[in-house]
Amino acid sequence: MGSSTKKKNEKKKDFQKPKLKVGKAKPKASNFTDTSFRSKSIVLQQQLTENAPNPTERFKHTLSLTSSRSDTQRRDALSYLAGQLSTSPPTNPVGTATLLQKLLPIMSDSSGPVRNQLLKLLRNLPADEVRPHVEKIMLYIRGTMTHISQEIKDDGLNYLEWLLEVAGEDVVSSAGCWVKPLRDFMSVLGWAIQVAPTAGTKSSGWTSAPRTTFGAKKYGQSFPRQMLILAKFLEMGFKPGMPIPWSDSDLSNNIGCVPRVPDPFGYIGLFKPPRDEDGEIYRNREDRQEIFNKRFMATVETGADMAKKEGGMAGRAAATLDQVLQDGMADYELNTRFDDDEHLWDGYMI
The identity of residue 13, as a single letter, is K
Q: What's the per-residue H, E or C state across the chain?
A: CHHHHHHHHHHHHHHCCCCCCCCCCCCCCCCCCCCCCCCCCCCCCCCCCCCCCCHHHHHHHHHHHHHCCCHHHHHHHHHHHHHHHCCCCCCCCCCHHHHHHHHHHHHHCCCHHHHHHHHHHHHCCCHHHHHHHHHHHHHHHHHHHCCCCHHHHHHHHHHHHHHHHHHHHHHHCCCCCCHHHHHHHHHHHCEEECCCCCCCCCCCCEEECCCCCCCCCCCCCHHHHHHHHHHHHHHHHCCCCCCCCCCHHHHHHHCCCCCCCCCCCHHHCCCCCCCCCCCCCCCCHHHHHHHHHHHCHHHHHHHHHHHHHHCHHHHHHHHHHHHHHHHHHHHHHHHHHHHHHHHHHHHHHC
Nearest-angstrom CA–CA distance, 284 and 289: 9
Strands 206-208 and 191-193: antiparallel
Residue ranges per structural domain of the chain: 54-172, 205-240+265-350
Residue pair 106/115 in contact by the 8 Å Cβ criterion: yes
Termini Cα distance of the chain:
140
Q: Which CATH class, in words, describes the domain spanning 54-172?
A: mainly alpha
pLDDT in tens, 86-104: 988 888 999 999 999 999 9
Following CA atoms 239, 96, 146, 267 in sequence, which dihedral angle do they give, to the nearest 10 degrees? 50
Nearest-angstrom CA–CA distance, 185 and 200: 32
Residue pair 189/228 in contact by the 8 Å Cβ criterion: no
Torsion sign (Cα): 87, 93, 96, 101: negative
- What are the pLDDT tens digits along the chain (350 aa)? 567 888 888 888 778 777 777 777 788 888 888 877 777 776 666 655 556 568 888 999 999 999 999 999 999 999 999 999 998 888 899 999 999 999 999 999 999 999 999 999 999 999 999 999 999 999 999 999 999 999 999 999 999 999 999 999 999 999 889 999 999 999 999 997 543 344 444 444 444 444 544 434 445 689 999 999 999 999 999 988 655 444 555 545 555 566 655 566 655 656 555 566 788 888 889 999 999 999 999 999 999 999 999 888 999 999 999 999 999 998 886 666 555 544 444 444 33
Angle at CA 39, nearest 5°, toward 34 and 41? Answer: 175
pLDDT at 101: 94
How many C-beta atoms lie closer than 10 Å to residue 279's C-beta? 15
Residue pair 160/179 in contact by the 8 Å Cβ criterion: no
Q: Is the backbone peptide bond immediately before 89 cis, with ω within 30 degrees of 0?
A: yes
C-alpha to C-alpha distances, 130 to 1, 99, 124, 178, 304, nearest whole angstrom: 89, 11, 11, 18, 32
Residue pair 251/242 in contact by the 8 Å Cβ criterion: no
Nearest-angstrom CA–CA distance, 142 and 157: 9
Q: Which of 134, 146, 133 is nearest to 182 (CA)?
A: 146
